Amino acid sequence: MRPGLRCKVITCCFWSVSTVRERFELSLSYGLYVMNFGEASDARFLCELAGEAEDAGWNGIFLTDTIMYYRDGREPVADSLTALAAIAVNTKHIRIGTAIASLPRRPPWLVAREAVTIDRLSDGRLTLGCWTWRSTGFRVSTVRTRKRGKDPRREA
């Protein structure tokens, strides 16, 4: 790890589901939720961090999926799916994934193709955390939001 580099990392818990002899088994796992912007926007750094997390015994590493973090947009942001592809080929056991990928601002066929590719690169270690309603990220994207990503909380 580069000395003096600071990044925003949050620990998280997630459930791992496995099937053994046609029975489901749940186990609680621990991972890192990395805010991949600012100083942590370098994919090489994220690969290094994931390798160190794997060596230290963490079960997963998850990246945030955002277009920009600060409203002025001056802070660099690493694309979460591209960074996860790099992490997938540089780690062996740690679970990888998006904390919350905003699906309405991405073409569905592209997300599916990228997710399948990353899942294959990682030998099935991808967790694709998603949400479907609009976010502030739409204000800076070019996606037309009129019919995409309706907030389920407002439909009730």
Q: CB within 8 A of 51, min separation 6: which ones?
A: 90, 91
Question: What is the tens place of the pLDDT at every residue in 76-132?
Answer: 888 999 999 999 999 999 999 998 787 777 888 899 999 999 999 999 999 998 877
pLDDT of residue 123: 95
Kindly list the distances between the CA atom of residue 89 and the CA atoms of 45, 56, 94, 156, in Å, as whole numbers in the listed order.
Answer: 14, 18, 11, 43
In a domain, 31, yes or no: yes
**Total number of domains in the chain:** 1
In a domain, 3, yes or no: no
In a domain, 80, yes or no: yes
In a domain, 4, yes or no: no
Q: Which residue has the higher pLDDT, 74 or 78?
A: 78
In a domain, 141, yes or no: yes
| pTM, two decimal places | 0.75
In a domain, 129, yes or no: yes
Q: E-assigned strands of 21-135?
A: 23-34, 60-63, 95-102, 126-131
Q: What domain range is 43 assigned to? A: 9-154
d(CA 14, CA 60): 9
CATH number, position 122: 3.20.20.30
In a domain, 2, yes or no: no
